[in-house]
Homo-oligomer: A and B are copies of this chain.
């Protein structure tokens, strides 16, 4: 079966084009797709060159490629538009109605969505990431009151990826602490977190899934046994209930979904 080619084209990083295109494509099951991202297409010359390439692919495969574009530059976009494929551009469809609504012309500035460093927003994200790295897995108690949220859970429930995602994507200061056997037995949060329960958010997971994840790490260990995993998760849930700590079952959730849930429950503000 020939794969249909998909191109994500942008004068910036291509992240928005990927997000746009992939979100739309998730709605079509069973398509065989060959995806390519073409970032930094910011000159007429580059645009012509990739149009040639995409047209070549169209001829070779005998199937019109899908081209998702977020190209601010009008000249570049006009060149891309003539590609032998389905050309869908974010700005084409939305920018004029938005201009009309806010009563202002758009600036046509390139690379704004994911570009540039040293803005306040950008520096806040990097600071959040440094904070989160420093406070991964209970590694530090320094400036713990700066945390926007402290994730707690038994080992391998998803604390680290969720914390990093919260920091990198949303600029959230996310610390995380493991719940030790001692904590779980006594239904208490780690000593450092006592009096900071209002900052805490708990994770749980399906015991079988946890045993599977732990077995990848330490095969056949007590740590990875279903009995141990079940015990820890049962105690963790009791601990959350007892201390009024909100929690979520991460078993069937992506990092993005867990992060969105944490932010909603803890009423955390995204960076603007």
Q: Are A254 and B117 in contact (CB under 8 A)?
A: yes
Q: List 7 A-B contacts (CB under 8 A).
A: A23-B90, A27-B106, A27-B107, A28-B102, A37-B263, A86-B97, A88-B97
C-alpha spacing A125/B98, complex, angstroms: 35
Q: Are B260 and A14 in contact (CB under 8 A)?
A: yes
Count of interface residues, chain A, beta-carbon cutoff 8 Å? 78
Known: A114-B257, A133-B160. 8 other contacts (CB 8 A): A16-B19, A23-B112, A35-B270, A37-B270, A39-B260, A88-B97, A88-B98, A117-B252
- Assuming the contacts A16-B23, A72-B27, A161-B126, asked whether A40 and B114 have C-beta atoms less than 8 A apart, the reply is no
Q: Are A98 and B40 in contact (CB under 8 A)?
A: no
Q: Which residues of B contact A250 (CB under 8 A)?
A: 117
C-alpha spacing A160/B33, complex, angstroms: 32
A227 at interface by CB-CB < 8 Å: no
Q: Mark A170-189, 1 if CB is under 8 A from B, else 0.
A: 00000000000000000000
A190 at interface by CB-CB < 8 Å: no
The chain A residues found within 8 Å of chain B, CB to CB, are 4, 12-16, 18-20, 22-24, 26-29, 31, 33, 35, 37, 39-40, 64, 66, 70, 72, 86, 88, 90-91, 93-95, 97-98, 101-102, 104, 106-109, 111-118, 122, 125-126, 129, 133, 136, 160-161, 164-165, 168-169, 209, 250-257, 259-261, 263-264, 270, 272
Q: Which residues of B contact A104 (CB under 8 A)?
A: 28, 31
Q: Which residues of B contact A23 (CB under 8 A)?
A: 16, 70, 90, 112-113
The residue on B at minimum CB distance from A251 is: B117
Q: Which residues of B contact A86 (CB under 8 A)?
A: 97-98, 101
